[in-house]
Structure 1
Amino acid sequence: MSLSPTKPHASIAKTVVNANGAASAAPRHVNPSVFDHLPDSAFIRESQLVQSPKRPGLLAPLPFSAPTLWRMVKAGTFPKPVKLSQRVTAWNIGAVRAWIAAQTDGKD
């Protein structure tokens, strides 16, 4: 069985002309956070919870990295995840929202 070479993907950036007539690359579309649209009883995976340089267009509710998240879980300063199956670990959205609210209380 031989593998055929793949075609390069076309660039998704489009050219936009501003009010001065200068051309520039259009900003990439930023995906809204799924976190904001799910009920408190839902679960969210690490990749949707924290920022990642691998997915710069993905909005995440927490402004820190995955290693920081796991250090905070280990230290007991962030809610523990739930093991949904052998290979799936997720956080309860209600618990994460409560943690976020507790961090912002009194800082206004």
Structure 2
Amino acid sequence: MHDIPELGFLRLTQVLGVIPVGKTCWWEGVRSGRYPKPVKLSARCTAWRVEDIRELINTLSDQAPSH
């Protein structure tokens, strides 16, 4: 699925490679609860759990209109 690993973490650039939104839109979605919250791996390293991103992809694809 979408060239992302089974387990682990994704950095923002990787997330935006599979979820087609801009950086500002992504952060607004995180703040509003639409997108998953990140995990701080260190003081300067923020990432998202792969499982959370896979779940988001499934949710978004279920909401997409079918033709």
**TM-score, reference length from structure 2:** 0.84
Tell me which of the two structures has the higher relative contact order, counting C-alpha pairs closer than 8 angstroms and 6 or more residues apart: 2
1:79 counterpart (17, 30, 36): 36
The amino acid that maps onto 1:86 is: A
What CA distance in whole angstroms lies between the structure 1 residues aligned with 2:54 and 2:4?
Answer: 12
1:37 offset after TM fit, Å?
A: 4.0
- What displacement does 1:48 show? 1.6
Q: Greater helix percent: which structure?
A: 2
- Poorly superposed stretches of 4+, deviation over 2 Å: none
Q: Give structure 1 stretches of 5+ with no counterpart.
A: 1-34, 51-59
The match for 2:18 among 61, 85, 98 is 61
Q: How much does 1:75 deviate? A: 0.4
| Alpha-carbon distance between aligned partners in 2 of 1:105 and 1:48, rounded to the nearest angstrom | 22
Q: Give the TM-score normalised by structure 1.
A: 0.54
Q: Which amino acid aligns with 2:52?
A: A
- Could you tell me which residue of structure 1 aligns to residue 14 of structure 2? 48
Task: Return the index of the structure with the highest Cα Rg.
Answer: 1
**Which stretches in structure 2 are left out of the alignment for 5+ residues?**
none
Kindly tell me the number of residue pairs found equivalent between the two proteins: 64
1:104 deviates by: 1.4
Counterpart of 1:93 (choices 46, 50, 53) is 50
CA distance in 2, matches of 1:62, 1:85: 24
RMSD across aligned positions (CA):
1.4
Show the counterpart of 1:4: none
